[in-house]
Amino acid sequence: MDKIYGFTHYSFFTEMSELAARHGSFDLSLGLPDFDIDERLTVFLKEAADNGTHHYEPLAGNPLLIESIIRFNAKRANSISVTHKEITVVPCATFALYTSLKSILNQSDEVIIIQPSYYTYAPAVVMNGGIPVYYDLEADFAINWEVFKSCISEKTKAVIINSPQNPTGKIWKKEDWHQLYELIKDRDIYLISEEIYDTYCYDEAEHYSSFIHPELREKTFCIFSFGKMFHTSGWKVSYMLASETLTAKFQCHQQYISYSANAPAQYAIAKYLDLFDPVINKRLMQQKRDIFNELIKETPLQVEQKSEGSVFQIVNFRNISKTMTDVEFSKWLTIEKKVSCLPLSAFYHSKNNSDYIRFSFAKKDELIIQALEHLKRNL
């Protein structure tokens, strides 16, 4: 288990935010929104407290919330049909990822991780006795399916996908899920699909879930996050969709780890979800993305591909420095130029240097504008 200490830890990510605070910098490093949640959520949370909602909910989740999840997914532009026995309410997406792996992995099974990726994926594999196998996206952050295929072996037990993706902002489309299915359909390989930014697909795109694919869904643990949807990460309520068979396996392990999620928050989210309009959510965040991308054009920093989804934008910094590593550049930008970001290398197990940094635009408009105007004047 000592292997776990060799990974990038959350402390690296918070270090950039702490640097920003220490040096009075504009903090665009982490995907933590700095704006208020919908006040109706607050009202429903108070209602939960007044109603004495203080005890464990059922293992699968509050029945009111499960019904709301079914209705919400049916109303999507790309509708997801789901039954009560295919839903589990969980404390968070990271918990769902870890417990999904625990439900399927045997010692030394391999799990393919597409990089760049969020820092929790590989440690969750290792803590469950598995072996991470890393596939690096192409220079344009697209998948080369022939190269991806070479990562699959007789020991492969799962693939972890994130769409919309952190940090690249790329989204998986119907044909991508089909390509993946063709590679794993005749193998005992599962999919763990983290779709926590599902309400943030921009322009003409609509979220297309892995769980829509009629055959792939039988192999899939599909993870969503109310924390990301509603900017309530501290409430610790997410949910997972899986076949009835996989859900039973998942809940068998869940009962020994967390049992259930935050009861008052489950009630509040159940009441709110029927009122929630994902179009407004999308419009809000797309406006922030567009403000960021318009203003950054006035700096030497270069956006090669506008984010298709999520709350992050990848930016090339080589017009400013040909010699600094992305870690050095991120710290220089934070300390000397007063705008905080993250290096792309933090999202690779190799930690190899890159030409890119990642900004979050899940911030108040005025913070984005002030940060980019400051860079315009000082770069």
Whether the CB-CB separation of 273 and 75 falls below 8 Å is answered with no
37/29 Cα distance (integer angstroms): 20
With 70 as the cut, is the pLDDT of residue 8 above it? no
* 11 and 149 assigned to the same domain: no
* 13 and 124 assigned to the same domain: no
Nearest C-alpha neighbor of 71 from the set 80, 62, 61, 59: 80
pLDDT class of 15 with cuts at 50, 70, 90: confident
Which domain, by its residues, includes 241? 39-273
Q: For the chain, how many residues are written? A: 379
40/31 Cα distance (integer angstroms): 23
Please give the angle made by the CA atoms of 209, 159 and 129, to the nearest 5 degrees. Answer: 135
Cβ partners under 8 Å of residue 260, min gap 6 = 56, 57, 58, 59, 61, 89
Domain-terminating residue out of 273, 298, 322: 273
CATH number at residue 327: 3.90.1150.10
Mean predicted confidence (pLDDT) in 86-91: 98
CATH number at residue 239: 3.40.640.10
* 169 and 64 assigned to the same domain: yes
* 213 and 362 assigned to the same domain: no
Beta strand 312-316 pairing with 356-360: antiparallel
Domain-terminating residue out of 273, 302, 332: 273
* 75 and 15 assigned to the same domain: no
Q: In this predicted structure, what is the pLDDT of residue 2? A: 63
* 249 and 309 assigned to the same domain: no
Mean predicted confidence (pLDDT) in 140-162: 97
* 62 and 151 assigned to the same domain: yes
Q: In this predicted structure, what is the pLDDT of residue 194? A: 98
CA dist 342 → 34, 323, 339 (Å): 17, 17, 10
* 266 and 130 assigned to the same domain: yes
Tokens of 247: 């859900």
- The 3-state DSSP class for residue 194 equals strand
Q: How many CB atoms lie within 10 A of CB 251?
A: 19
* 16 and 159 assigned to the same domain: no
The tens digit of pLDDT for each residue in 166-215 reads 999 999 999 999 999 999 999 999 999 999 999 999 998 999 999 999 99
Mean predicted confidence (pLDDT) in 212-226: 97
pLDDT class of 11 with cuts at 50, 70, 90: confident
* 57 and 139 assigned to the same domain: yes
With 90 as the cut, is the pLDDT of residue 5 above it? no
Q: In this predicted structure, what is the pLDDT of residue 274? A: 96
Question: Edge-to-edge, what's the strand order for the sheet holding 312-316?
Answer: 312-316, 356-360, 342-343
Question: Into how many domains does the chain fold?
Answer: 2
With 80 as the cut, is the pLDDT of residue 160 above it? yes
Domain-terminating residue out of 226, 249, 273: 273
pLDDT class of 148 with cuts at 50, 70, 90: very high
69/63 Cα distance (integer angstroms): 10
13/341 Cα distance (integer angstroms): 9
Q: In this predicted structure, what is the pLDDT of residue 9? A: 67
The tens digit of pLDDT for each residue in 106-141 reads 999 999 999 999 999 999 999 999 999 999 999 999
* 24 and 150 assigned to the same domain: no
Mean predicted confidence (pLDDT) in 60-70: 98
With 70 as the cut, is the pLDDT of residue 4 above it? no
Q: In this predicted structure, what is the pLDDT of residue 59? A: 96
Mean predicted confidence (pLDDT) in 350-355: 93
The tens digit of pLDDT for each residue in 245-297 reads 999 999 999 999 999 999 999 999 999 999 999 999 999 999 999 999 999 99
Cβ partners under 8 Å of residue 310, min gap 6 = 31, 164, 165, 166, 167, 169, 197, 200
DSSP assigned state of 77: S
* 224 and 348 assigned to the same domain: no
Q: In this predicted structure, what is the pLDDT of residue 62? A: 98
